Amino acid sequence: MTQRAFNAVFMRGGTSKGVFFRFDDLPDDLAARDQIFVHALGSPDPYGRQLNGMGGGVSSLSKAVIVGPSTKDGADVDYTFAQVVIDEPVVDYSATCGNLSSAIGPFAVDQGLVGAKNGQQTVRVHNTNTGKIYHATFLVSEGAFDPVGDFEIPGVGGSGSKIRLDYLEPGGATTGELLPSGNAIDVLNVPGLGEVEVSAVDASNAVVFVSADRLGKTATETVDELEADHTFMDALESIRRVAGVKMGLAETPEDVPLGNPKIGIVSKPAESVSLDGNVLSPDNMDITARIVSMGQVHRALPLTGAMCLGVACRIPGSIPYMICGLQTDDIRIANPSGIIPVDADVDVSNENVFAKSCTVYRTARPLMAGQVLVPHP
């Protein structure tokens, strides 16, 4: 067996990292492409560490990205996200990654896919996973993305230049509807749990929100505490799969995709300690949340999960809305790594609730550029 080399850039975007490829550097055959991603990240790994690849053993570090010329009017480039499962040779395209979306514009500029304009440059990105367009605005210096700055985000050590992400009309990214069931709250009959109230919302990604106290939690627990409670994790997965059917993502719970919907527990503001040891005061937050993605509790928040929660907090009658109440300022979401503000613009003046936009801020940095080697029979 020999190895083949593929041009790639290893990048951090927000609180995630991934291997970035140009569309024209990959084979047209989708199965062959998936094999490149699996080998590049180091999956499947029964030990859960991905030591034989560039992945990091957690879902936020087991990702691949494809960027190429836009196939949609109103966008400059296409962005396809690939979630590589850690313990199986599986690539999931059912969702997008909001954190890595912050690195797409910078990658496109650095790769010459769009012309560089010094100063603040906006790149219009079409995400092929959801069909949605978002705008990324970031600093360009001397014809290249400039990652240096003093903006800090929870979950990432150090600072960088601020990247603004404006998601336009994020509702229905996965299912076609902001409220896939038509309701702000649904009562699900979950095996082993009985009736469970959830808010199933689809904005940027589909997410199911459950009140933490329904499962005996506060949403202030650490990642390790939650993942060590196997009964809790199994209950969340059962709820997620039943909700996935309710949202129209599959006909049976067993067929619900690994990546969609995500699921989170939410609760009222309460003091907690972030991963870096800082005490988070309830005075500085509007809601606290823990979100599970690909069977793991996220160590910060999936950015699309944060945006979806921000939108949900604006939807009257939803579980998050009943916690936040009527808010006009940014929604401040406490999570394991700190507090993230989300600006969600939701129109509730008509019978049908409409998510107009969602704005968040991230940082990104290219970490390595060159070639990734993958086995080739």
**Burial class of residue 295 (count of CB atoms within 10 Å of its CB; 0-12, 13-18, 19+):** middle
Which residue, among 54, 57, 31, 82, has the nearest Cα to 370 in the 3D structure? 54
Per-residue pLDDT tens for 96-121?
999 999 999 999 999 999 999 999 99
Does residue 212 contact residue 267 with C-beta atoms inside 8 Å? yes
- pLDDT at position 173 over 80: yes
Q: What is the pLDDT of residue 301?
A: 92
Q: What is the pLDDT of residue 65?
A: 98
Radius of gyration of the chain (CA): 20
Whole-number Å distance between alpha carbons of 13 and 360: 13
Confidence band (pLDDT; 50, 70, 90) for 377?
low
Per-residue pLDDT tens for 74-86?
999 999 999 999 9
Per-residue pLDDT, averaged over 188-193, amounts to 97
Q: What is the pLDDT of residue 51?
A: 97
Q: What is the pLDDT of residue 182?
A: 95
Handedness of CA 214, 218, 220, 221 (dihedral sign): negative
Whole-number Å distance between alpha carbons of 127 and 136: 12
Which residue, among 341, 342, 335, 338, has the nearest Cα to 220 in the 3D structure? 335
36 vs 326, residue with greater confidence: 36
DSSP structure string for 90-156:
-EE-SS--HHHHTTHHHHHHHTTSS---SEEEEEEEEETTTTEEEEEEEEEETTEE----SB--TTS
Confidence band (pLDDT; 50, 70, 90) for 325?
confident
Q: What is the pLDDT of residue 258?
A: 86
- pLDDT at position 1 over 70: no
302 vs 376, residue with greater confidence: 302
Per-residue pLDDT, averaged over 234-245, amounts to 98
- pLDDT at position 35 over 70: yes
Q: Which structural domains are found in the chain, ordered by start?
A: 2-173+363-376 (3.10.310.10), 186-352 (3.10.310.10)
Does residue 272 contact residue 280 with C-beta atoms inside 8 Å? yes
Confidence band (pLDDT; 50, 70, 90) for 259?
confident
Whole-number Å distance between alpha carbons of 160 and 156: 10
Confidence band (pLDDT; 50, 70, 90) for 371?
very high
